Structure 1
């Protein structure tokens, strides 16, 4: 499944769940608010009507009662009004004849009203004695029509928003995959030897930063290649001039000189291939680690989304049962439907679902944050500059970033301990320092065969900042310690190392004016110490 499809599906599922919750809560709030308002209005109207007609009922003034009935019927949505005497005989009434012909049954709530008219009544009392009763009916069909229209519009808005979200996800996924394909094609072109290319940089996002760094790398490679060609041309020109001055030299000397040039080219090519191999090995470690680290949070996010999907189906079943119950007119049918709803509530364990929703969403958000931190660390580590431009850097941040990247290579058989003291900012090349730390962490992990511990310390000693990487591995024999920084020297089995990692690291630290030292005891482990001068001025650093 492509990144684009994963993005669309993931965002669509989350958006659908949130829209469902929002729409259901909004409609429920709308119904509750309007029903409560209608109930209060009906209670107020019938109470006022009873108070107004009390004197007319006590005096049996039928003309006044008819006038009161006509006056109260002027209220909007009032279907009928009726006044009963002490013997429950009708003394005055008005309104819809069809509704007046039905027997009066008072409604206790708007939700249970099935005939479209909310019926309510109030007694006419005087001195604690009942002298009659007033009855009114309010039309709720217009209100129900509003609710139906609100549901229809909510569904339309939800569909529209889902479409827009899907379109945005599609465009975002297309943009990312397109940019990644461009970088992949450019990397393949470089691996084939083509350096005359430029990756287009569009926008100001992380993809644009990566493309810019990629172009910088290509420019540096091109400049290095051009410089090498110039040196080779100068050398050839010098050789030709020397040949003109030493025409009397023998053919054997020219042959040896030619062989020497060929050997020099072969050595340069071999050295370049080994450097490339070391760089590719580091990139391979990064890719494998990041892939594994991202798969874990993505896995439980997908699991949570599956659970949320099941919960949504349960909610839909219960809501459908409620909607079916709302259409029933028979009291027995409504009671049977209510029992069915209760069984569904218990069957789906909605109480547990309500409690579990927050945990599922919280875990998913935490997993997404973990993915974000891993990608952020990889992005920071990807700026391994080969240029001499330096910037302010926190060495502790370099340590933490590199540990995140190499975590997958160490965590299964190494306990990682950090003893980091607060350090001042210094000017250096953070990407190159990350490269050195990556090499030391990988070497420490490879030195531990079964289980062990890797301890990383940082401290300030006068005007020097130190980083120690100590392991409990196999250690290094005394006769080999003096050789470990030599190019192409390695104690690893064939195929496990190029012998360039520590040599490159040694060169990087010396370019920063520092030192890289090692102490080791066979069978107990090794400790590599990086010492860097505290440089707080950029001009001095450059």
Structure 2
């Protein structure tokens, strides 16, 4: 029992010594921190005191030259100054009198001051020092870049006295005060009082020594604190920092060699327990991370698959929308052309009867006048009316011919002989200056068509091509095989393609969209009805073919007829029926 008490007493003394070490360590820390705070306060106080004294000295010195300048201006004779400025001579009685006045200002106030008279350049901001109590300074120009220039400019603008900031010269550091001299609102000259401020150097040096002493004491205090902190704080904290860095790099085995009994030692123990906990959590997080990565890869694969499906559906919808728009445009065009054709046929039927009466009456009047008054001017007027009535009759006849045509049985026709026959019909209209180029393979597939109506189409296209080349050119007729797809939803079928090209003036781009509209023509007035291409387009459309045009202004035009080809079963026996000569209906 006694030994146990001794052991307990010994344990208690060790605990007390440990507490004492902790208290002593904290006390030392507070003492050092207090010393540092006192030192820093002493340094800051001296710096502030030095700056305050320096500012006070500068204020006292700056007020003295300003006072001398303001009182000196009042003592100068204004008349002499004005006369001196007018004469502009730095020597003479006036100049000597003014110079004596400058010396008087200096001697009455402070012999250390330098008093000068500065003359302003006419209309400018530069000034010239012309009179001074320091003759060795003359003459001197004050312009931009001079430390006094800014203050002088302010005096000229405000016409109020001002003092410059301290500036360095070969003679030392000076402050200059300026007072304006002039008449009315214009400053003609300035009185300068330059005052040396070197008298304050002794005070500045004393304050400088105090500051250096404060810096030295602060340095010693800081050095002592740094040594103590390095032993008590920095080294243990560096060990702890290395351990933390090792943990951030995945190494949790770095030893912590901190055996201190103060707060840093407690921090090291706490950190060691935290390291064990973090290592356990790190393993769990790695397992969760691996699981999340697997899930991420699965989601990315699923996302790529969904993106591909969405893209495929989007493209499919775009194609369907494009087909729908093309079909809608085609239907609108067909309805428009059918409505216009029906309307034109009805109008032509109603106009044809009264127009026949008009033509008959005009013919009768012409015959009567030619017998009774063959020299009458009325005959020429009636003949002009008769020609226009005949032209209207031809237009109406073309509309009625197209409107009255009944669908005829379609028969297989060989294309090459058909086109050759149409070319023979317009041979008389081919001028010697026109070169004909014909390229029609004899083995072209046959087409199932209404022969007479298809002949009308080719004859009309040939006539238009010849009319487009009044000065000659080249007429090209080419045939070949191709594919035909009238709308996106239709399956392409084999087709026969016939193109008729000319080297005329071409069709303007703004006219191309209207080239197949009824009554639209690019020919001169009286040369075309504007119905030929309209009727041709309707005929080809009824045969489930296509009639297209390509044109370049100045280069010519190409009209292409595409008709569905029959299944290959040999060539026809040629054109047996007579070719019907359709009237000239004109391009348009």
TM-score normalised over the length of structure 2:
0.28
For the pair shown, the structure with the greater C-alpha radius of gyration is 2
For normalisation by structure 1, the TM-score amounts to: 0.30
